[in-house]
């Protein structure tokens, strides 16, 4: 090692003739958050424990409610209370449920902070007839247990005397990021300060669930309204970007163990689990235990889908809404319907444009356009339409679609340019209104129009075009209004580039004024590439046209 260090020395001459040594140093390895964090941790992906429902047959393990990683010891062990509460959440918040080693066995003789080491356990409820109790199928149907907290979580709720009042209810959304860094003094897990991010405990995309379950009652700031109601300082912690990403990917949760908040990894990782699993945290008293409990439930529910899809129909407790009130009812869901009803929303598939070949007069303009909204693309070298030209140059879409492509050249210049395009081929062709064009054999002839009871040329041959143009503008207006209703609940941080948008919001950089200062890209704004459309578009939409719809 000494020879390596000696080889790393370089001599630099100074202006005074003296020499100084420049040393190339090794990188400093990241230390674990606690000295003993790595002593008993196992990150082996096969170290897991199954928790089964006693009311269904064991065939091919199709009665497994949850499978939880057993990383609490090198011999595949799992914290007893964490596993039991996870099963109780799925079993409709039955905190009186217990773990048994066999289907007909009694409660295991373990304390809350002891470790589970068997590969299989049954979660049983005392008063369930034939052990057939229902389960919540997913997080959206889960009901938060107000006033009915499990005992080990209830003990973590700070008393009013313990609150120092450092952060009052005056912390607004605009000041949230700064107040968060001042409160947590960097990442609450790694203790790093650089580039920390605001991590929500109850995720922002669960705003509807947040409101429905009245989680705002645990907010520090009771003045937050609408989409900002979830941006309370009690619902956020500061995390380093990579730790934040693992948090949002459900790699770990924050749970109580031995009377302290600790990091509990629920999935295998290459590095973070070795550093931080079972690391105690010094969370501020303003961090809501209720929101931490919500995050715990949110992270475990995706695993329930395997239980719903296997074996026979499952009894589930689902939420129903009637007259503005929410109730829950028990129903049996067949396995083939589980993913469609309770699975995560799939990525939307691109729909092929099916432009109608004929639209009847008096069409309801509120009808949605038959194509999806995509993204915008940059300009190309293709020719552009004249500045006075519009999609509404036709009285109806059927008129536009019925005109042969060779006749579309008549739409390039005003009608005053030439009278007969065939006599002057070098001159741009005349643009004619649809009513003034009739195809007779292979030729095109003029059709006079009645005006003021006389057979004459209409003084405004583009009147119908202007009318159609107004219709097209109204189409786009209605479509954008529909898109506006589909916008995310918090445009200040929602974008396809989430981190860039959040970073800009954190730095106080104002976004688009028309979107309430939100940082949204063209894709989020609903702009479309014309090249993504079907070739059956009306003739005014050249495939290579650069204008965006």
Question: How many structural domains does the chain have?
Answer: 2
Structure tokens at 12: 């630099």
Domain ranges, residue 294: 37-157+249-345
* pLDDT above 50 (res 498): yes
- Choosing from 345, 365, 385, the residue where a domain stops is 345
- Choosing from 287, 322, 345, the residue where a domain stops is 345
- Choosing from 345, 364, 397, the residue where a domain stops is 345
Per-residue pLDDT of 2-24, as tens digits, reads 444 444 444 444 445 567 788 88
Residue 130 is assigned to a structural domain of this protein: yes
**Assessment of whether the complete model's pTM goes beyond 0.75:** no
What band does 408 get if pLDDT is binned at 50, 70 and 90? Answer: very low
| 324 or 190, greater pLDDT | 190
How far is the C-alpha of 528 from the C-alpha of 361, rounded, in Å? 27
Query: Is 29 exposed, middle or buried, given 0-12, 13-18 or 19+ CB atoms closer than 10 A?
Result: exposed
List of residues 6+ apart from 399 with CB closer than 8 A: 434
How far is the C-alpha of 327 from the C-alpha of 79, rounded, in Å? 34
Q: Work out the percent of the chain whose per-residue pLDDT is above 90.
A: 43
Cβ–Cβ under 8 Å, residues 136 and 295: no
pLDDT (0 to 100) of residue 523: 62
What band does 494 get if pLDDT is binned at 50, 70 and 90? Answer: low
List of residues 6+ apart from 342 with CB closer than 8 A: 137, 138, 140, 141, 304, 305, 308, 316, 333
Residue 280 is assigned to a structural domain of this protein: yes
What band does 404 get if pLDDT is binned at 50, 70 and 90? Answer: very low
Q: Work out the percent of the chain whose per-residue pLDDT is above 70.
A: 60
Cβ–Cβ under 8 Å, residues 10 and 79: no
- DSSP at 244: H
Residue 13 is assigned to a structural domain of this protein: no
pLDDT (0 to 100) of residue 540: 45
Residue 111 is assigned to a structural domain of this protein: yes
List of residues 6+ apart from 285 with CB closer than 8 A: 158, 162, 163, 164
Per-residue pLDDT of 125-179, as tens digits, reads 998 988 999 999 999 999 999 999 899 999 998 876 555 555 454 688 888 989 9
What band does 267 get if pLDDT is binned at 50, 70 and 90? Answer: very high
Residue 42 is assigned to a structural domain of this protein: yes
Residue 287 is assigned to a structural domain of this protein: yes
How far is the C-alpha of 360 from the C-alpha of 269, rounded, in Å? 60
How far is the C-alpha of 385 from the C-alpha of 401, rounded, in Å? 18
Q: Most distant CA pair in the chain: distance in Å?
A: 108
Residue 14 is assigned to a structural domain of this protein: no
């Amino acid at each position: 090692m000494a020879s390596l260090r000696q080889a790393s020395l370089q001599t630099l001459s100074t202006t005074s003739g003296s020499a100084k040594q420049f040393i190339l140093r090794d990188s400093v390895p990241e230390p674990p958050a606690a000295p003993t964090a790595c002593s008993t941790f196992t990150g082996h992906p096969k170290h897991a424990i199954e928790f089964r429902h006693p009311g269904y047959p064991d065939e091919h393990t199709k009665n497994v409610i949850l499978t939880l990683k057993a990383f609490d010891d090198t011999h595949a062990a799992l914290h007893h209370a964490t596993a039991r509460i996870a099963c109780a959440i799925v079993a409709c918040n039955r905190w009186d449920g217990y773990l048994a080693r066999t289907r007909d066995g009694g409660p295991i003789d373990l304390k809350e902070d002891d470790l589970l080491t068997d590969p299989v356990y049954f979660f049983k409820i005392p008063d369930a007839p034939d052990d057939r109790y229902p389960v919540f199928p997913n997080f959206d149907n889960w009901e938060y247990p107000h006033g009915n907290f499990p005992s080990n979580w209830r003990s973590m709720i700070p008393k009013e005397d313990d609150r120092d009042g450092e952060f009052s209810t005056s912390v607004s959304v605009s000041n949230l990021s700064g107040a968060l860094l001042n409160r947590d003094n960097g990442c609450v897990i790694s203790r790093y300060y650089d580039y920390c991010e605001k991590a929500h405990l109850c995720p922002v995309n669960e705003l509807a669930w947040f409101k429905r379950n009245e989680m705002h009652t645990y907010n520090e700031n009771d003045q937050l309204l609408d989409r900002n109601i979830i941006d309370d300082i009690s619902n956020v912690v500061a995390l380093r970007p990579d730790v934040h990403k693992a948090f949002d990917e459900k790699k770990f949760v924050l749970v109580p163990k031995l009377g302290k908040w600790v990091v509990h990894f629920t999935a295998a990782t290459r590095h973070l689990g070795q550093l931080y699993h079972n690391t105690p945290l010094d969370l501020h008293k303003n961090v809501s235990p209720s929101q931490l409990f919500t995050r715990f439930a949110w992270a475990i529910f995706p695993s329930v889908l395997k239980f719903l899809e296997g074996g026979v129909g499952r009894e589930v407790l689902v939420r129903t809404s009637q007259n503005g009130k929410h109730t829950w009812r028990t129903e049996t869901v067949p396995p083939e319907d589980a993913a469609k009803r309770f699975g995560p929303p799939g990525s939307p598939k691109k729909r092929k444009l099916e432009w109608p070949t004929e639209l009847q007069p008096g069409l309801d303009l509120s009808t949605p356009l038959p194509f999806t909204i995509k993204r915008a693309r940059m300009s190309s070298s293709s020719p552009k339409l004249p500045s006075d030209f519009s999609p509404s140059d036709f009285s109806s879409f059927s008129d536009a679609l019925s005109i042969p492509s060779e006749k579309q050249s008549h739409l390039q210049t005003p009608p005053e340019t030439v009278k007969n395009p065939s006599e002057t081929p070098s001159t741009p062709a005349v643009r004619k209104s649809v009513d003034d064009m009739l195809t007779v054999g292979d030729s095109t002839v003029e059709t006079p129009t009645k005006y003021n009871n006389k057979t004459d040329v209409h003084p405004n041959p583009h009147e119908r075009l202007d009318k159609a143009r107004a219709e097209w503008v109204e189409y786009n207006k209605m479509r954008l209004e529909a898109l506006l209703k589909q916008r995310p609940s918090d445009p200040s941080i929602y974008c396809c580039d989430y981190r860039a948008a959040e970073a800009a919001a954190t730095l106080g950089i104002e976004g688009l004024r028309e979107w309430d200062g939100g940082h949204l890209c063209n894709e989020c704004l609903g702009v479309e590439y014309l090249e993504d459309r079907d070739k059956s578009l009306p003739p005014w939409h050249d495939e290579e046209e650069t204008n965006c719809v």
